[in-house]
């Protein structure tokens, strides 16, 4: 890291007024198209083993699946996997996307209840905004399973299927720690943070996991955040907006990195990594001074960017596995059985501790994407070469 401090104070004042933080909205741009998603039916999961038998039991039962948005590839995959797996077990599926419009999601869930859903699976947009409609479902005796994002402030949720969200943050932090050899280096590295949506519990947990690893290095001065924006409140981005991430990165680069390079973009989402990439290209960064950029979801575009070097890593979350665990929860609640859970402590939604199944997130980069992603059947070499 070059060490020129010129103009820093002035920049702080300028940028503070320019930065767009959690209070603003922005529309995400799309990542990879649905056609590029892993083939849901072909990849469909271990549920296969049980698929033949329960079709008859499941018949006539309807499952409403409420997803947040199609603007990010991961949710398209999640929805497709859930639908395929539930249908293979004989359930009727009502899959809805609300395009990050909270009221639209409320209406969709109301319609699911009115049209006789027997179970609801919800990946929320704003995790506290569904309390009333969740109470309606409870009143009507319809069990709810929280999908990937915890449903907050309600006792109407029966189970939660997700990835270890704090573990995602820890994995990103450890990746940075190892790649920059933070424990041993005598260098200092500049870093900026791009964290998730404040109305998504996952974003808070990721931040906690990340800072558990990185805060000591900020304290020691091995990591230097020139914008001074290290708190969750200062770095969160409402509705996971790629545009806001790009705008924030542009503002950081202009305000704080005119005379020295930004070394690390610690981002919580592949969409943010795309935003940072665009900002860095705009600011004239090249392969010679390109920063380490993290992400989450291992979207197709992100994986291609990892191969080409414009993103360093991502967190691979196998949406087929998550759907499989969630489908098993649906089956269990509808058949009066206990589903498999592996966490009864971490996910307190302010009313109850929701019994959860946590899948394991895996850090992927250029060195292991073949083994994890290609050999795991998530994307083919052909998809990645397109």
Which positions lie near ligand BGC, rule CB under 6 A? 72, 74, 148-149, 196, 200, 202, 240, 269, 296-297, 317
C-alpha closest to that of 154 among 349, 357, 356: 349
Tokens of 22: 């959690």
Nearer to ligand BGC, 263 or 270 (CB): 270
Nearer to ligand BGC, 149 or 277 (CB): 149
Nearer to ligand BGC, 50 or 365 (CB): 365
Helix (H) or strand (E) holding 244: helix 242-256
Nearer to ligand BGC, 70 or 188 (CB): 70
Nearer to ligand BGC, 189 or 269 (CB): 269
Nearer to ligand BGC, 194 or 269 (CB): 269
Nearer to ligand BGC, 74 or 229 (CB): 74
Q: Is 292 helix (H, G, I), strand (E, B) or coil?
A: strand
Distance CA 277, CA 282 (A): 8
Shortest reach from residue 35's CB to ligand BGC, in Å: 20
H-assigned helices in 121-180: 131-139, 165-179
Shortest reach from residue 28's CB to ligand BGC, in Å: 8
Shortest reach from residue 72's CB to ligand BGC, in Å: 5
Shortest reach from residue 201's CB to ligand BGC, in Å: 8
Shortest reach from residue 101's CB to ligand BGC, in Å: 15
**Residue 325, CA atoms < 13 Å, CB-side half-sphere:** 22
Nearer to ligand BGC, 165 or 310 (CB): 165
Shortest reach from residue 171's CB to ligand BGC, in Å: 12
Contact (Cβ atoms closer than 8 angstroms) between residue 310 and residue 277: yes
Shortest reach from residue 69's CB to ligand BGC, in Å: 7
Shortest reach from residue 233's CB to ligand BGC, in Å: 18
Q: In what order do the strands lie in the sheet with 223-224?
A: 223-224, 189-194, 264-267, 292-293
Distance CA 350, CA 348 (A): 6
Shortest reach from residue 346's CB to ligand BGC, in Å: 14
Q: In what order do the strands lie in the sheet with 92-97?
A: 92-97, 62-67, 119-122, 144-147, 157-163, 356-359
Helix (H) or strand (E) holding 122: strand 119-122
Contact (Cβ atoms closer than 8 angstroms) between residue 96 and residue 65: yes
Task: Indicate if the alpha-carbon torsion angle 176, 201, 80, 68 is positive or negative.
Answer: negative
Distance CA 306, CA 258 (A): 26
Distance CA 129, CA 102 (A): 7
Nearer to ligand BGC, 272 or 285 (CB): 272
| Cα separations in angstroms, 53 against 47, 287, 310, 333 | 11, 55, 47, 17
Tokens of 285: 């960064």
């Amino acid at each position: 890291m070059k060490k020129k401090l010129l103009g820093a104070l002035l920049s702080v004042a300028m940028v503070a007024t320019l930065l767009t933080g959690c209070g603003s909205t922005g529309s995400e741009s799309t990542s990879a198209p649905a056609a590029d998603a892993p083939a849901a039916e072909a990849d469909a999961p271990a549920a296969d083993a049980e698929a033949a038998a329960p079709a008859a039991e499941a018949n006539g039962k309807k499952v409403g699946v409420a997803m947040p948005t199609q603007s990010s590839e991961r949710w398209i995959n999640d929805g497709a996997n859930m639908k395929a797996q539930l249908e293979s077990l004989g359930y009727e599926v009502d899959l809805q996307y609300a395009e990050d419009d909270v009221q639209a999601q409320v209406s969709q869930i109301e319609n699911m209840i009115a049209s006789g859903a027997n179970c609801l699976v919800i990946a929320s947009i704003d995790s506290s905004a569904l309390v009333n409609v969740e109470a309606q479902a409870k009143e009507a005796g319809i069990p709810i399973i929280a999908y990937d994002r915890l449903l907050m402030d309600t006792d109407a949720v029966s189970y939660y299927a997700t990835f270890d969200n704090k573990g995602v943050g820890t994995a990103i932090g450890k990746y940075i720690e190892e790649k920059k050899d933070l424990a041993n280096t005598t260098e200092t590295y500049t870093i900026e943070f791009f964290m998730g949506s404040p109305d998504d519990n996952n974003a808070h947990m990721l931040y906690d996991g990340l800072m558990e690893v990185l805060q000591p290095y900020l304290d020691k001065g091995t990591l230097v955040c020139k914008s001074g924006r290290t708190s969750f409140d200062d770095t969160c981005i409402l509705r996971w907006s790629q545009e806001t991430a790009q705008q924030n990165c542009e503002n950081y680069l202009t305000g704080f990195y005119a005379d020295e390079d930004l070394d690390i973009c610690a981002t919580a989402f592949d969409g943010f990594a795309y935003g940072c990439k665009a900002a860095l290209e705009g600011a004239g960064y090249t392969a010679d001074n390109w920063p380490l950029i993290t992400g989450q979801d291992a979207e197709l575009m992100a994986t291609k960017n990892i191969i080409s070097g414009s993103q360093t890593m991502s967190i691979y979350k196998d949406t087929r596995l998550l759907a499989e665990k969630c489908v098993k929860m649906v089956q269990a609640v509808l058949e009066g059985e206990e589903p498999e859970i592996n966490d009864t402590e971490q996910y307190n939604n302010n009313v109850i501790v929701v019994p959860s199944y946590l899948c394991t997130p895996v850090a992927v980069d250029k060195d292991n994407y073949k083994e994890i992603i290609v050999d795991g059947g998530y994307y083919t070499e052909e998809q990645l070469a397109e």
